[in-house]
Amino acid sequence: MRIAIGADHAGYELKESVRSLLEQEGHEVINFGTDSTDSVDYPDYVHPLAKSVIAGEVDLGILLCGSANGVCMTANKHREIRAAIAWAPQIARLAREHNNANILCVPARFVSEAQARAFVAEFVNASFEGGRHARRVEKIPPALD
């Protein structure tokens, strides 16, 4: 699977751990940065990653920032993106199974490395169930403006 990954400065170190895990599992990981703990503006990394998901250049995206709120809000501004914040492995799995999420957002300042890796594993290994969930996802408008 091709997976895009990106983070701001608060999520950089955890991003590198998650990236390593995904590569060890045989996934092709496309790094959208940042590549240090120097302060950056997360939208500069989120927008290119979201566009890559929409274009089908990657199968899924993973974003990390301090609270996950900023990256999630920014990603969800894009049509066809369904970004979800996870704080438990089951939430990450259900985001894919029930909501057909295509980007997982991880709150780097509030989870351990082991927790983040568990969230990502559940997200990547889950599949959209369709059925009644497809009907609900179809009711999410691409934009309200």
What is the C-alpha R_g of the chain? 14
Show the tokens assigned to 96. Answer: 């894919």
User: Is there a catalytic annotation at residue 105?
Assistant: no
Amino acid found at 78: H
Identity of the amino acid at 18 = V
- The Cα 123–Cα 49 span in angstroms is 17
The catalytic residue among 27, 72, 78, 98 is 98
Residue 133 known to be catalytic? no
Catalytic residue among 65, 72, 78, 105: 65
Cα separations in angstroms, 120 against 77, 78, 86, 143: 22, 22, 9, 27
**Residues with catalytic function:** 65, 98
